[in-house]
Protein backbone atom coordinates (compact mmCIF):
# COMPACT_ATOMS: atom_id res chain seq x y z
CA UNK A 1 0.00 0.00 0.00
CA UNK A 2 1.48 3.36 -1.02
CA UNK A 3 1.40 6.10 1.58
CA UNK A 4 2.12 9.83 1.16
CA UNK A 5 5.00 11.86 2.58
CA UNK A 6 3.98 15.01 4.43
CA UNK A 7 6.36 17.94 5.04
CA UNK A 8 5.51 20.15 8.00
CA UNK A 9 7.47 23.38 7.99
CA UNK A 10 7.35 26.87 9.50
CA UNK A 11 9.19 29.17 11.90
CA UNK A 12 10.43 27.56 15.13
CA UNK A 13 7.63 27.54 17.71
CA UNK A 14 4.65 27.43 15.32
CA UNK A 15 3.73 23.89 16.38
CA UNK A 16 5.35 21.56 13.83
CA UNK A 17 6.37 18.92 16.34
CA UNK A 18 3.01 18.98 18.14
CA UNK A 19 1.08 18.54 14.88
CA UNK A 20 3.59 16.18 13.27
CA UNK A 21 3.70 13.66 16.11
CA UNK A 22 -0.07 13.62 16.55
CA UNK A 23 -0.66 13.31 12.81
CA UNK A 24 1.80 10.44 12.49
CA UNK A 25 0.18 8.63 15.39
CA UNK A 26 -3.39 9.09 14.07
CA UNK A 27 -2.54 8.25 10.46
CA UNK A 28 -0.15 5.39 11.20
CA UNK A 29 2.75 7.20 9.50
CA UNK A 30 6.27 7.57 10.87
CA UNK A 31 7.44 10.89 12.28
CA UNK A 32 10.92 12.28 11.58
CA UNK A 33 12.25 15.44 13.22
CA UNK A 34 15.15 16.53 11.02
CA UNK A 35 16.75 18.58 13.80
CA UNK A 36 16.81 15.56 16.12
CA UNK A 37 17.99 13.26 13.34
CA UNK A 38 20.96 15.56 12.66
CA UNK A 39 21.75 15.73 16.35
CA UNK A 40 21.69 11.98 16.83
CA UNK A 41 23.53 11.39 13.56
CA UNK A 42 24.72 8.14 12.07
CA UNK A 43 28.20 6.68 11.93
CA UNK A 44 31.57 8.35 12.15
CA UNK A 45 32.45 11.11 9.72
CA UNK A 46 35.95 12.35 8.87
CA UNK A 47 37.02 16.02 8.93
CA UNK A 48 34.28 17.35 11.19
CA UNK A 49 34.92 20.73 12.77
CA UNK A 50 35.94 20.35 16.40
CA UNK A 51 32.64 21.79 17.61
CA UNK A 52 30.70 18.86 16.12
CA UNK A 53 30.47 15.57 17.97
CA UNK A 54 31.29 12.54 15.85
CA UNK A 55 28.31 11.26 13.91
CA UNK A 56 26.21 14.39 14.00
CA UNK A 57 24.91 15.52 10.63
CA UNK A 58 26.35 19.00 11.07
CA UNK A 59 29.02 20.81 9.10
CA UNK A 60 29.69 23.61 11.56
CA UNK A 61 28.22 26.00 14.08
CA UNK A 62 26.65 29.38 13.35
CA UNK A 63 27.93 31.69 16.11
CA UNK A 64 25.67 34.55 15.05
CA UNK A 65 22.45 32.52 15.19
CA UNK A 66 23.67 30.25 17.97
CA UNK A 67 22.76 27.00 16.22
CA UNK A 68 24.46 24.15 14.38
CA UNK A 69 24.66 24.21 10.57
CA UNK A 70 23.07 21.15 9.02
CA UNK A 71 25.08 19.03 6.60
CA UNK A 72 22.23 18.98 4.10
CA UNK A 73 23.72 16.41 1.71
CA UNK A 74 24.25 13.91 4.49
CA UNK A 75 20.76 14.51 5.89
CA UNK A 76 19.35 13.74 2.44
CA UNK A 77 21.46 10.58 2.09
CA UNK A 78 20.34 9.49 5.51
CA UNK A 79 16.64 9.90 4.69
CA UNK A 80 16.53 8.81 1.04
CA UNK A 81 15.52 5.17 1.58
CA UNK A 82 12.78 5.96 4.08
CA UNK A 83 11.38 8.76 1.93
CA UNK A 84 11.22 6.61 -1.19
CA UNK A 85 9.16 4.07 0.74
CA UNK A 86 6.60 6.76 1.67
CA UNK A 87 4.52 7.22 4.80
CA UNK A 88 6.77 9.79 6.50
CA UNK A 89 5.79 13.00 8.29
CA UNK A 90 8.91 15.19 8.15
CA UNK A 91 9.31 18.16 10.51
CA UNK A 92 11.84 20.93 9.84
CA UNK A 93 12.11 24.74 9.93
CA UNK A 94 13.52 24.78 6.42
CA UNK A 95 12.46 23.13 3.19
CA UNK A 96 14.47 24.33 0.20
CA UNK A 97 17.15 21.63 0.25
CA UNK A 98 14.97 18.50 0.24
CA UNK A 99 14.35 16.83 -3.13
CA UNK A 100 11.05 18.12 -4.51
CA UNK A 101 9.96 14.59 -5.43
CA UNK A 102 9.92 13.52 -1.76
CA UNK A 103 6.68 15.26 -0.77
CA UNK A 104 3.05 14.85 -1.73
CA UNK A 105 1.90 17.75 0.44
CA UNK A 106 3.75 20.65 2.14
CA UNK A 107 2.15 22.28 5.17
CA UNK A 108 3.37 25.66 6.38
CA UNK A 109 2.14 26.41 9.89
CA UNK A 110 1.50 30.06 10.78
CA UNK A 111 1.22 31.67 14.20
CA UNK A 112 0.29 35.21 15.23
CA UNK A 113 3.28 37.22 16.43
CA UNK A 114 2.20 37.79 20.01
CA UNK A 115 1.51 34.08 20.55
CA UNK A 116 4.75 33.05 18.86
CA UNK A 117 6.67 35.56 20.95
CA UNK A 118 5.33 33.99 24.17
CA UNK A 119 6.03 30.45 22.98
CA UNK A 120 9.63 31.26 22.04
CA UNK A 121 10.22 33.20 25.24
CA UNK A 122 9.05 30.27 27.34
CA UNK A 123 11.45 28.11 25.31
CA UNK A 124 14.21 30.39 26.61
CA UNK A 125 14.83 32.40 23.43
CA UNK A 126 15.94 35.99 24.07
CA UNK A 127 17.50 38.95 22.24
CA UNK A 128 18.55 38.50 18.62
CA UNK A 129 17.47 34.87 18.41
CA UNK A 130 13.96 35.78 19.57
CA UNK A 131 13.74 38.84 17.28
CA UNK A 132 15.05 36.93 14.23
CA UNK A 133 12.48 34.19 14.63
CA UNK A 134 9.62 36.68 15.03
CA UNK A 135 10.84 38.49 11.88
CA UNK A 136 11.02 35.17 10.07
CA UNK A 137 7.30 34.72 10.78
CA UNK A 138 6.39 38.34 9.92
CA UNK A 139 8.18 38.12 6.56
CA UNK A 140 6.59 34.68 5.95
CA UNK A 141 10.04 33.41 5.09
CA UNK A 142 9.12 29.73 5.28
CA UNK A 143 5.99 30.19 3.16
CA UNK A 144 8.05 31.95 0.46
CA UNK A 145 10.67 29.21 0.68
CA UNK A 146 7.99 26.53 0.32
CA UNK A 147 6.27 28.06 -2.72
CA UNK A 148 9.59 28.62 -4.45
CA UNK A 149 10.69 25.02 -3.77
CA UNK A 150 7.49 23.03 -4.45
CA UNK A 151 4.52 23.19 -6.81
CA UNK A 152 2.12 25.83 -5.47
CA UNK A 153 -0.79 23.35 -5.59
CA UNK A 154 0.74 21.15 -2.91
CA UNK A 155 1.71 23.97 -0.50
CA UNK A 156 -0.88 24.89 2.15
CA UNK A 157 -0.70 27.41 4.98
CA UNK A 158 -2.45 26.35 8.17
CA UNK A 159 -3.21 28.59 11.17
CA UNK A 160 -1.58 27.26 14.33
CA UNK A 161 -2.68 29.59 17.11
CA UNK A 162 -5.03 27.58 19.31
CA UNK A 163 -5.81 23.97 20.27
CA UNK A 164 -8.92 24.31 18.05
CA UNK A 165 -6.65 25.11 15.09
CA UNK A 166 -4.63 21.99 15.87
CA UNK A 167 -7.73 19.77 15.86
CA UNK A 168 -9.08 21.33 12.68
CA UNK A 169 -5.72 20.88 10.95
CA UNK A 170 -5.52 17.25 12.05
CA UNK A 171 -9.04 16.55 10.73
CA UNK A 172 -8.27 18.20 7.39
CA UNK A 173 -4.97 16.42 6.87
CA UNK A 174 -6.46 13.06 7.87
CA UNK A 175 -9.15 13.56 5.22
CA UNK A 176 -6.52 14.51 2.67
CA UNK A 177 -4.46 11.39 3.50
CA UNK A 178 -7.50 9.11 3.16
CA UNK A 179 -8.31 10.60 -0.23
CA UNK A 180 -4.68 10.27 -1.35
CA UNK A 181 -4.65 6.60 -0.36
CA UNK A 182 -7.88 5.98 -2.33
CA UNK A 183 -6.49 7.73 -5.39
CA UNK A 184 -3.09 6.03 -5.27
CA UNK A 185 -3.83 2.43 -4.36
P1 LIG B 1 7.84 23.69 16.61
O2 LIG B 1 8.02 22.20 16.45
O3 LIG B 1 7.29 24.34 15.38
O4 LIG B 1 9.06 24.38 17.12
P5 LIG B 1 6.20 22.94 18.92
O6 LIG B 1 5.31 21.87 18.38
O7 LIG B 1 7.37 22.54 19.73
O8 LIG B 1 6.69 23.92 17.73
O9 LIG B 1 5.26 23.96 19.72
C10 LIG B 1 5.77 25.10 20.40
C11 LIG B 1 4.85 25.40 21.58
O12 LIG B 1 3.58 25.82 21.12
C13 LIG B 1 4.59 24.19 22.49
O14 LIG B 1 4.55 24.64 23.82
C15 LIG B 1 3.23 23.69 22.04
O16 LIG B 1 2.53 23.07 23.09
C17 LIG B 1 2.55 24.98 21.63
N18 LIG B 1 1.59 24.76 20.52
C19 LIG B 1 1.79 24.08 19.39
N20 LIG B 1 0.70 24.10 18.60
C21 LIG B 1 -0.23 24.83 19.26
C22 LIG B 1 -1.58 25.21 18.96
N23 LIG B 1 -2.20 24.87 17.82
N24 LIG B 1 -2.24 25.96 19.88
C25 LIG B 1 -1.64 26.32 21.04
N26 LIG B 1 -0.36 25.99 21.38
C27 LIG B 1 0.33 25.25 20.50
In whole angstroms, what is the distance from residue 173 CA to residue 158 CA? Answer: 10
Which secondary-structure segment (H or E) carries 109? Answer: strand 105-110
CB-ligand 1 contact for 119 (6 Å cutoff): yes
Residue nearest to atom 12 of ligand 1 (CA): 15
Average pLDDT rounded to a whole number, residues 140-150: 98
Phi and psi at residue 132, to the nearest 5°:
-60, -40
Q: What is the DSSP letter of 46?
A: T
Per-residue model confidence as pLDDT tens digits over 5-22: 999 999 999 999 999 999
Q: What is the pLDDT of residues 55-102, one digit of tens each?
A: 689 998 888 777 889 999 999 999 999 999 999 999 999 999 999 999
Distance set, CA 41 to CA 57, 99, 123 (Å): 5, 20, 24
pLDDT of res. 87 = 98
Nearest to 62 by CA among 26, 32, 71, 54: 71
Mutate to test the pocket of ligand 1, among 7, 15, 113 (most ligand atoms within 8 A of CB): 15
Bridge-based pairing state of the strands 67-70 and 88-91: unpaired
pTM: 0.93
Q: Kindly report the number of other CB atoms within 10 A of residue 108's CB atom.
A: 24
Is the pLDDT at 42 greater than 60, yes or no? no
Distance CA 149, CA 106 (A): 10
Q: How far is the CA of 12 from the centre of ligand 1 (A)?
A: 9
Cα-to-centroid distance, 14 and ligand 1 (Å): 6
Cα–Cα distances in angstroms (integers) from residue 12 to residues 54, 86, 92, 94, 158, in the given order? 26, 25, 9, 10, 15
Amino acid sequence: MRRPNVLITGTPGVGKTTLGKELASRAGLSYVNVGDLAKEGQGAVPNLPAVCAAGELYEGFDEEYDCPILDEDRVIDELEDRMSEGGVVLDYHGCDFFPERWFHVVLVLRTENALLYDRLQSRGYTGKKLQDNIQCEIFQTLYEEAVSSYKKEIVHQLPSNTPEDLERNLDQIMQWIEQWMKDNN
